[in-house]
Amino acid sequence: GPVITRTQGYSISEALMPGSSAVLICVIDGNPIDLNKVRWFKNNQELSFDQWEKRIEGNDASLIRKSINREDAGQYACEIDNQFGNSHATLPLIVQYAPEIDRSVPGRDKAATDSDRLLTAEIHCYVSAIPKPTVIWMKDNQLLSSSSRYQSILNEQIPSSSFSSNLLFEAILYVYNVTKSDYGIYQCKVENKLGIDMTQIILTGLTIPDSPSQIHITNTSHSSVLISWTPGFDGGFQQTFQIRYRLSTDNYY
């Protein structure tokens, strides 16, 4: 019976520009190939074909779209039935997009360090982009160049799922031998050929932490309660947390 022997998609290094056409190909060993027997999936959901065209040419089963956008990015799969069950193969479709700074985590707009001991401050900026962005750091709108005082690095992060159509980066600015004059507002500007994003991070002296947020009771049993929360900005110190509770019939914790 028919077996899928090879696929042709678009990996991160081959990521498509928005608006360009996409052709996903599965090469099938077997004759003849029935177009109706080839099924296509995106992120494990069978595709509807209002946007895509299915085609068979020789041994190539292809999925064609004239103009793609970022929402089309994902993990695609082709499948064909045979006497052993089915033959299944996956292929990526990666689409380029402008940088997007992650502002979802509380406290990421702040950093703190002690100015009395000439310590090093780390200012972090988290961004998603394809292709890889360039990062420019500024303080009070003045460009910061790498020097004995400043160092900028950009780390690629491992995505949380085994297949991700995003690239994640952590930009870090190291400020060496911090004095009070280094406190202030820093700008992280990230750019690729599709666009720019920018955010501000405030560097301060050591301070009290911000309150935690998103406090949830995630599980209960007859003798226990499991509580989760999102820590706030740590003020420059390691944080510890205390949980206080009271019975609904009591007036004290």
> Which token pair is 24?
């996903």
Closest by Cα among 27, 90, 80 to 57? 27
Q: Do the Cβ atoms of 126 and 101 come closer than 8 Å? A: yes
Q: Do the Cβ atoms of 188 and 150 come closer than 8 Å? A: no
Q: Do the Cβ atoms of 185 and 141 come closer than 8 Å? A: no
Q: Which fold has domain 98-204?
A: Immunoglobulin-like (2.60.40)
Let me know if the fold of 3-95 is the same as that of 98-204: yes
- 185-197 pLDDT, tens per residue? 999 999 999 999 9
Q: Which fold has domain 3-95?
A: Immunoglobulin-like (2.60.40)
- 69-102 pLDDT, tens per residue? 999 999 999 998 877 778 889 999 999 999 999 9
Measure the CA–CA gap between 227 and 18, rounded to whole angstroms.
Answer: 43
Mean pLDDT of 61-69: 93
Q: What is the residue extent of each domain of the chain?
A: 3-95, 98-204
Q: Please check the confidence at residue 161 and state whether its pLDDT lies above 70.
A: no
